[in-house]
Amino acid sequence: MSLLFVNEVTHSYGSRKFFNWKDRSKKVLSDISLSIEEGTCLGMLGTSGAGKSTLGKVILGLERPQYGQVLFQGHDIYTADKHARQKIRRDLQAVFQDSYSSVNPRMTAERIIAEPLENYEKLTAAEQKRTVVELLERVGLSEGDLKKYPHQFSGGQLQRINIARAISLKPKLIVLDESVSSLDMVNQNLILELLRELKEELGLSYLFITHDIKAAYTISDTLAVLEKGELIKLYDSKNQFFASEHPVVKKMRDSILAEHPRFRSIRTNG
Ligand X SMILES: Nc1ncnc2c1ncn2[C@@H]1O[C@H](COP(=O)(O)OP(=O)(O)O)[C@@H](O)[C@H]1O
* Residues 18-57 contacting ligand X, CB under 6 A: 28, 46, 48-54
Virtual torsion, Cα 6, 202, 129, 138, nearest 10 deg: -120
What long-range pairs does 78-86 form, CB within 8 A, spacing at least 24? 85/61
**Shortest separation between residue 62's beta carbon and ligand X, angstroms:** 10
Of positions 8, 13, 254, 267, contacts ligand X by CB under 6 A: 13
Name which of 29 and 133 has its Cβ closer to ligand X: 29
* Residues 221-250 contacting Mg ion, CB under 5 A: none
* Residues 118-147 contacting Mg ion, CB under 5 A: none
Query: Strand, coil or helix: what is 78?
Result: coil
Instruction: Give the separation between CA 245 and CA 87, rounded to whole angstroms.
Output: 41
Name which of 46 and 68 has its Cβ closer to ligand X: 46
Cα separations in angstroms, 37 against 42, 90, 108, 212:
9, 18, 35, 22
Instruction: Give the separation between CA 170 and CA 168, rounded to whole angstroms.
Output: 6
Distance of CA 151 to the CA centre of its chain: 24
Name which of 57 and 111 has its Cβ closer to Mg ion: 57
Closest CA to 71 of 10, 12, 11, 2: 2
Using an 8 Å Cβ cutoff, are 31 and 229 in contact? no
Q: Which entry of ligand X, Mg ion, none binds 50, CB below 5 to 8 A by partner kind?
A: ligand X
**Shortest separation between residue 30's beta carbon and ligand X, angstroms:** 12
Reduced to 3 DSSP states, what percent helix, strand and coil does the chain have, rounded to the nearest 5?
45, 20, 35
* Residues 49-78 contacting Mg ion, CB under 5 A: 52-53
Residue 157 sits in the site that holds ligand X (CB under 6 A): no
- Burial letters 172-205, b for 16+ CB under 10 A, else e: bbbbbbbbbbebeeebbebbbebbeebbeeeebb
Q: Which entry of ligand X, Mg ion, none binds 28, CB below 5 to 8 A by partner kind?
A: ligand X
Q: Which entry of Mg ion, ligand X, none binds 46, CB below 5 to 8 A by partner kind?
A: ligand X
Q: Which stretch binds Mg ion (CB under 5 A): 48-56, 122-130, 180-188, 248-256?
A: 48-56
**Shortest separation between residue 107's beta carbon and ligand X, angstroms:** 26
**Shortest separation between residue 211's beta carbon and Mg ion, angstroms:** 8
The site for ligand X (CB under 6 A) is made up of 13-14, 28, 46, 48-54
The site for Mg ion (CB under 5 A) is made up of 52-53
